[in-house]
Chains A and B, each alone.
Chain A
Amino acid sequence: MECYSEQIVSIFVDGELAVEEARRLRDHLATCRRCRQLLDALRAENRVLSESLQELPEEAVSPAGFSRLPWSLPWGDVAVVAAVLALGSMVVGWIDKLSIPEALQWLNPFSLNGRTNLIFNLSYYFAHGGTAMVDDYAAIVGKIFLLLLLGGSVVLLARRLRLRQPGLRLLIVLLALSLPGFALERRHSEVVTVAAHETVDDTLLASGNIVRVEGVVNGDLLAFGGTVEVRGTVKGDLVSFAKRTVVSGTVEGNIYNFSNSLDLDGQLGHSIYGLVQSLRVNDRGRVGDGVVVAAGDVSLEGEVNRSVTMFAGNADVSGSIGRELTMTGDSLTLTNTSRIGGSLSARVHQLKNVHIADGATITGTRDIQVRVRQSHFTRPRFYFYQAVWLAAAMLVGWLGLVLFPGFFQASTQAVGSGWRSLGLGVGVLAGVPVAIILIAITLVGLPASLMLLALYLAAIYLAKIWVGAFLGHMLLKPAGATKSDWLLGLLVGLLILTIVGYIPYLGGLVRLGVVCLGLGAFAWQLYRVSRPAITT
């Protein structure tokens, strides 16, 4: 009789052959040595399979890791929610205790005023090409993130080489060194005043509705409030985070300013660095060095000893600038009284928006460029940068996959949950800046808020990578789940996202959606990792 096929014998070995056929096969086995050998081999194979499957495919799971009761699973979630609520109430209580001064309410996103400000600022930001800035920002963050990843790999390497303890200490020392440790005097009340006859020897940290310095601050002045006024003298720098900042006295260092408006009526030893809605250097104002500012409106009536660089909507210059004036923006006006010691270079959208009076003095050259909205697709540079961007993203993706394989792949998968990721992402995208501002307002949390900001920006950058990898995976549907499959998927996904991102209007929406999806997946993954579920 003819021998049975291997598949039939295999089914027999599995005990799954129909009774009648099994009987015939048994009869055949009695006479056929070859089939008996096959039978034995297949039985052995089944044993091998069962034995091998006794353990788990990856690192063995310690039973201790599973010793938790299952009831800790729902309780785990309840605990997370409870912890979040508790933390939330603590933060709320904390904020309440800190009693954000009336002056800062314009910043507080929970107040009506704050919300209108936020909406206004955001719309202004987006109306003025803020999205492009976000892209640039993301690129910078990408580089920083690359460095962080490299740092991470060093740490991992150190761990492998059992350098964990010293490495950790080194990290702590570095962290400690990076935090400012200066003598600090804090003042907080409705109106903070350094009276005319008073001298503060340390750095002064002042917050209040009105912060007024009429006397002398020998260190720096860090001021937070509705109105910050320096009528006296600040010998160090002025760092001001206020609705309105007025300097009619003297600041011997620099002014770092984040305000709605900054007015300089007095003397400044060095430079102004600012991100403001309106900057005004009055005719009595004098800047020892230069000005670097991004502002809606700039009015320079006084004197700036060195160069001025500004990104501004409207700029009026009627005072004098010692060296170059570099301006990028919408409109520029130089009046008869204006004087520029160096060259003028301006980049505007339309030539008719540049008004240079006949009496204006410009010692150097005049270079006025009209930024024609030339399609960047025609420039080779564009493609070069895109390629660099893509390569960087691939590298980040690869490093991430090597360093945190589980997390990266799981985040990619989490993108697939669609609405959950999208919803969560929108929440995170909108919520984290609020949290950052709230933490920063309290000042004590400034380092924490900066760290959160870094994480936030990094996650925005990584969002594209996760979504790209997911998209690529969806399209390619690789059979395996190897690193190269993932990376190939990433490449394809990123290419598609990049191209789609340049479709007018729709592209912006797609980009936003991608960021939300990726952020949501990331947040979900962070939650999962922190969740006390089944871990080893």
Chain B
Amino acid sequence: MDAKRNNTKGSQSREGKATQMEGPDLESVIERAQGHDAEALGEIYRLYVRRVFGLCRYMLDSRESAEDATSEVFLKLQRSIESYDGSIPFPRWLLRVAGNQCIDALRRRKRGRQVIVEAEEGVAVLEAASSEPSPLGAVLSTEERAQVRDAIARLPENYRVPLVLRYYGELSYDEIAQQLGLQRNYVAALIFRAKQELRRKLGHRSK
């Protein structure tokens, strides 16, 4: 299995800290897990629980819900791992599963309604060049990173969910659109607006 990402966004590729196991090792563990080897499943849990919990924690608004979702993901993994075919790296696949689990949880809370409802004006893409882009600075101290995290956690759900799926789960726009049942363009707009909102929040903070 190829550990590198096989889509076009190579520049943002991030090696998860939890992924201490690469290539053949991981492959054999996954194979064993697919054969319902409890030890292998345990190993996968040990390797990725933190990543999965992180995604859930960002997507859901309480620690308890995140814990529930994480438990669910790994409980279902015993069965769902059979469907993993190696076409994408395992961590990404796992985070996609986790993302789905969280979206299910959010949907349940909204009694089956869509997590994010597409607004009419949403698809419109800003055409004019922005006069002052001022994206976030390049290098951040630990404290500043904590501020960013905090700001992300405080984003409204419709911004937070796609943003986290994109930059934590490393899902593509298409995957996010599919999971949330939205148009691809709308997902792009939401992610862009989420970043603007983040800048606004962090700008307020630093002033």
Within 8 A of B (CB), among A63-110: 63, 66-67, 69-71, 73-74
Bound complex: CA A481 to CA B134 (Å): 28
B156 within 8 A of A: yes
Which chain A residue shows the least CB distance to B145?
A52
Q: Which residue in B11, B127, B140 is a CB contact (below 8 Å) of A5? A: B127
Chain B neighbourhood of A44, CB < 8 A: 135-138
Docked pose: A16 CA to B58 CA in angstroms? 23
Whether A15 lies near B12 (C-beta < 8 A) is yes
Contact of B75 among A2, A61, A70 (CB under 8 A): A70
- A45 proximity list for chain B (CB < 8 A): 135-136, 195
Distance A502 CA – B127 CA, assembled complex (angstroms): 58
B62 at the interface (CB under 8 A from A): yes
Q: A51, B128: Cβ atoms under 8 Å? A: no
Q: Determine the distance from Cα of A73 to Cα of B68 in the docked complex, in whole angstroms.
A: 10
| Any A CB within 8 A of the CB of B64 | yes
Please give me the residue from chain A that is nearest to B192 by CB atom. A7
Q: How far is the CA of A69 from the CA of B49 in the complex (A)?
A: 10
For A190, the chain B residues whose CB sits under 8 A away are none
Query: Which B residue's beta carbon lies closest to that of A76?
Result: B71
Q: Do A2 and B195 form a contact, CB below 8 Å, given A46-B167, A47-B138, A49-B167?
A: no
Say which one of B23-31, B82-90, B113-121, B146-154 lies at the interface with A. B146-154
Residues of B within 8 A of A51 (CB): 140, 145
Q: Is B7 positioned at the interface, with any CB of A under 8 Å from its CB?
A: yes
Q: Does B3 contact A (CB under 8 A)?
A: no
Nearest Cβ distance between residue A94 and chain B, in whole angstroms? 34
- The residues of B that contact A57 with a CB separation of less than 8 Å are 57-58, 149-150, 152-153
Answer whether residue B106 sits at the interface, using C-beta atoms and an 8 A cutoff.
no
Stretch at the interface among A175-183, A278-286, A406-414, A420-428: A406-414
A356 to chain B minimum Cβ distance, whole angstroms, is 64
Contacting residues, chain A, for B145 (C-beta < 8 A):
48, 51-52, 55
Q: Does A499 contact B (CB under 8 A)?
A: no
- CA–CA, A229 to B137, complex, Å? 86
**Interface pair B61/A41, CB less than 8 Å apart:** no
A5 touches B149 (CB 8 A): no
* Chain A residue contacts of B191, Cβ below 8 A: 10, 14
Known A14-B191, A15-B10, A57-B149; contact A481-B75, beta-carbon cutoff 8 A: no
Chain A contacts for B140, CB-based, 8 A: 48, 51-52
Check if B74 is an interface residue, CB within 8 A of chain A. yes
Partner of A55, one of B12, B61, B67, B149: B149
Instruction: State the CA gap A88–B126 with chains docked (Å).
Output: 65
Contact across chains for A56 and B54 when beta carbons are under 8 A apart: yes
Q: Which residues of B contact A70 (CB under 8 A)?
A: 41-42, 45, 49, 71, 74-75, 77
- Give the contacting residue for B53; candidates A4, A5, A38, A56; CB below 8 A: A56
Q: Is B179 an interface residue (CB 8 A)?
A: no
**Interface residue A11 (Cβ < 8 Å from any Cβ of B):** yes
Bound complex: CA A61 to CA B145 (Å) = 16
A-B CB proximity, top 6 nearest: A15-B9, A45-B135, A44-B138, A52-B148, A6-B130, A57-B153
Additional A-B contact list (9), CB under 8 Å, known A52-B148, A56-B58, A69-B45? A13-B11, A16-B173, A44-B136, A48-B140, A50-B14, A66-B45, A406-B63, A479-B156, A533-B71
By a beta-carbon cutoff of 8 Å, the part of chain B in contact with chain A is 7-12, 14, 17, 38, 41-42, 45-46, 49-50, 53-54, 57-58, 61-65, 67, 70-71, 74-75, 77, 109, 125-130, 133-138, 140, 145-146, 148-150, 152-154, 156, 163-164, 166-168, 172-173, 188-189, 191-192, 195, 198
Give me the interface of A with B, judged by CB distance under 8 Å.
2-8, 10-11, 13-16, 38, 41-58, 61, 63, 66-67, 69-71, 73-74, 406, 409-410, 413, 416, 479-481, 528, 533-535
